[in-house]
A = this chain, B = another copy of it.
Amino acid sequence: MNDKTFALKGICMYSKTQQVIEVMDGYVISADGICQGVYENIPKEFEGITVHDYTGKLIIPGLIDLHLHASQYPFRATGMDLELLEWLDTYTFPEESQYADIEYAKKAYSIFVNDFKNSPTTRACIFATIHKEATLLLMSLLEDTGMKTMVGKVNMDRNCPDYLKEESPEKSIEDTIEFINYARQNYKNTVPILTPRFIPTCSDDLMVSLGKLKEEYHLALHSHLSENKTEIDWVRNLCPDADSYTDAYERRGSFDQSGKTIMAHCVYLTKEEEDLLKRRNVFIAHCPDSNMNLASGIAPIRRYLKKGLNVGLGTDVAAGSFINLFHAMSSAIQSSKLYWRLVDQTDLPLTLEEVFYMGTKGGGAFFGNVGSFEKGFLMDAVILSDDNIQSSKTLTPKERLERIIYLGKDENVISKYVDGTRIEMNEFK
Contact = CB atoms under 8 A, between A and B. Distances in A.
Nearest to A331: B334
A75 B341 CA distance: 24
Given A78-B399, A80-B333, A295-B349, 5 more contacts: A76-B406, A77-B406, A295-B337, A298-B338, A335-B338
Interface stretch (A60-68, A243-251, A385-393): A385-393
Residue with the greatest number of chain B CB neighbours at <10 A, chosen from A330, A392, A405, A407 = A392
Contacts of A339: 342
Interface string A384-424: 00000111110100010011011101000000000000000
Interface stretch (A107-115, A161-169, A365-373): A107-115
Interface of A: 74-81, 95, 104, 107-108, 111, 114-115, 292-298, 321-322, 330, 333-335, 337-343, 349, 351-352, 389-393, 395, 399, 402-403, 405-407, 409
B342 A297 contact: yes
Q: In the assembly, how many copies of this chain are there?
A: 2
Contacts of A78: 395, 399, 402-403, 406
Given A337-B295, A351-B81, A407-B321, A392 B104 contact: yes
A11 to B, nearest CB: 16
A111 B390 contact: yes
27 contacts: A74-B391, A74-B392, A77-B403, A77-B405, A77-B406, A79-B399, A80-B333, A80-B352, A80-B402, A80-B406, A81-B352, A95-B393, A107-B392, A292-B337, A292-B338, A293-B334, A293-B337, A294-B337, A295-B337, A295-B338, A295-B341, A295-B349, A298-B342, A321-B330, A321-B407, A322-B407, A342-B343
Nearest to A395: B78
A330 B289 CA distance: 11
Contacts of A402: 77-80
A197 to B, nearest CB: 21
Contacts of A321: 330, 406-407
Contacts of A395: 78
Given A107-B392, A407-B322, A297 B80 contact: no
A389 B73 CA distance: 11
Contacts of A115: 390
Contact of A341 (B107, B297, B349, B405): B297
A116 B209 CA distance: 57
Residue with the greatest number of chain B CB neighbours at <10 A, chosen from A78, A80, A115, A340 = A78
A320 B217 CA distance: 49
A77 B392 contact: no
A279 B79 CA distance: 37
A296 B341 contact: yes
